[in-house]
Amino acid sequence: DSGVTQTPKHLITATGQRVTLRCSPRSGDLSVYWYQQSLDQGLQFLIQYYNGEERAKGNILERFSAQQFPDLHSELNLSSLELGDSALYFCASSVLGAVNEQFFGPGTRLTVL
Amino acid sequence: AQTVTQSQPEMSVQEAETVTLSCTYDTSESDYYLFWYKQPPSRQMILVIRQEAYKQQNATENRFSVNFQKAAKSFSLKISDSQLGDAAMYFCAATTSGTYKYIFGTGTRLKVLA
């Protein structure tokens, strides 16, 4: 158990819908990262927050947005969902910046039908 | 731009034998960090080993060690005395202190044969 929690574990929805994925980092970790892993693919970095502020952006679609709240939990919002958005979405946290070890949550499996 | 390349989509090793997984990277930064992550069938991402670029000594964690060749931009993972529980996808990753972005390779699936 990494100490990072993600809800829900599974999510099934239809094209065109909007969903919110939630992540709670380990106690004391200020940085949160979001990744997308499509079937049998590597991890694509989406976005990073540090203490409530966006720190780095990767290949995140405009239909996706994220935020980190004052209690440091983070949410990833995915809208106008397409079949290709079906993937495993990971959240990771670390104490400070990127050079620290990232601890990964168990992931949220999103299926878009 | 930073890139990480894993050229071996799949590898097999006999139980108790040694296997080496390859990774090459490219970055123009001088301050960077390299990682190997393991993803078993449970899909949980687990850090295996980490290497700071400024350290010349290769990192070691029990049966796992790296061969860090800075000039060649190579970062391979050696697993000694392979165990059935080592069967997983292994991802190489890189980040720099300035970008805060992690770049992952496409992964190598390791099969351990009994």
**Rounded to whole angstroms, how far apart are CA atoms A20 and A66?**
9
The answer to whether A95 and A28 are in contact (CB under 8 A) is: yes
DSSP letter, residue B27: -
Q: Which positions in chain A have a beta carbon within 8 angstroms of at least one beta carbon in chain B?
A: 2, 31, 33, 35, 41-45, 48, 50, 55-56, 58, 88, 90, 92, 97-99, 101-104, 106-107
Distance of CA B35 to the CA centre of its chain: 6
Nearest beta carbon to residue A45 from set B103, B106, B107: B103
Nearest beta carbon to residue A99 from set B43, B95, B103: B95
Which of chain B's residues have a Cβ under 8 Å away from the Cβ of A38?
none
Which of B7, B34, B102, B109 has the highest number of chain A CBs within 10 A, making it the mutation to test binding with A?
B102
Is residue A108 pLDDT above 90, yes or no? Answer: yes
* Residue predicted with more confidence, B67 or A2: B67
The predicted-structure confidence for B40-65, as pLDDT tens digits, reads as follows 998 899 999 999 888 888 888 899 99
The predicted-structure confidence for B70-97, as pLDDT tens digits, reads as follows 999 999 999 999 999 999 999 999 988 7
**Rounded to whole angstroms, how far apart are CA atoms A81 and A16?**
5
Q: Which amino acid is at A22?
A: R
pLDDT at position B70 is 92
Contacts of A97 (CB under 8 A, 6+ apart): A31, A50, A55, B97, B100
Angle, vertex CA B105, rays to CA B102 and CA B110, nearest 5: 130
Which token pair is A39? 């079937």
Is the Cα torsion angle B10, B5, A84, B40 positive or negative in sign? positive
Which of chain B's residues have a Cβ under 8 Å away from the Cβ of A44?
104
Would you place residue A98 in the very low, low, confident or very high pLDDT band (cuts 50, 70, 90)? low
**H/E element, A110:** strand A108-112
The answer to whether B64 and B18 are in contact (CB under 8 A) is: no
Cβ contact, residue pair A98, B99, below 8 Å: yes
The predicted-structure confidence for A24-78, as pLDDT tens digits, reads as follows 999 989 999 999 999 777 899 999 999 999 998 988 999 999 999 999 999 999 9
Nearest beta carbon to residue A97 from set B47, B50, B97: B97
**Rounded to whole angstroms, how far apart are CA atoms A78 and A61?**
9
